[in-house]
Amino acid sequence: MTGLRELLLGRWRATAGPGRGVIESVEIVEIVETVETVETVESVETFGIRVTPRGAKAEGAWPSVECQVYACGEEDRQPGAAALGVVALETRSVELQLRVNKGILCVMSWTRFVRADPGQRAWVTRELFVRASPEVGP
């Protein structure tokens, strides 16, 4: 998981200017939990996503969610990594597809409403992000 970790971890900011897009920034963090049993103590490594939407003051920041990390095939000899997580909000859920390649994070947000409402339809958006913080070391 080490290579994937280095590709994904850190804070990312949107490439689009103010007033465009849904997400302002994305933070991908590592969560290390210690699991104790009668005989052993093990560290379990998981990953979390924290999304700050645009207009966060009005809506409130989205809750952090655990995500699953996936390896990608290489594109132009560059390794990639992807992650999948779902943010549950009061009225809707947003399934996040994150993919890092060549230093760019691409986020597809699959938004649907929790309760079926004929006046509202599910939609998908795609946004790009660059690193806002230095890369994480090994």
Measured distance CA(111)–CA(93) in Å, rounded:
6
Q: In 49-81, which positions are buried (b, 16+ CB within 10 angstroms) versus exposed (e)?
A: bbbbbbeeeeeeebeebebebeeeeeeeeebbb
Tell me the number of residues near other proteins by CB under 8 A. Answer: 26
Q: Which of residues 10-69 bind other proteins (CB under 8 A)?
A: 68-69
- 88 is a contact residue toward other proteins (CB under 8 A): no
- 132 is a contact residue toward other proteins (CB under 8 A): no
State in angstroms the smallest separation of the CB of 56 from other proteins. Answer: 19
Closest CA to 68 of 96, 107, 102: 96
Place of tokens 């009005």: 58
Measured distance CA(27)–CA(12) in Å, rounded:
6
Q: In 3-21, which positions are buried (b, 16+ CB within 10 angstroms) versus exposed (e)?
A: ebbbbbbbbbbbeeeeeeb
Binding segment (CB under 8 A) for other proteins, from list 23-31, 38-46, 94-102, 128-136: 94-102
State in angstroms the smallest separation of the CB of 3 from other proteins. Answer: 11
Binding segment (CB under 8 A) for other proteins, from list 6-14, 40-48, 51-59, 76-84: 76-84
Q: Which is nearer to other proteins, 110 or 131 (CB)?
A: 110
State in angstroms the smallest separation of the CB of 57 from other proteins. Answer: 21
Binding site for other proteins (CB under 8 A): 1, 68-73, 80-82, 84, 95, 97, 99, 108, 110-112, 118-125
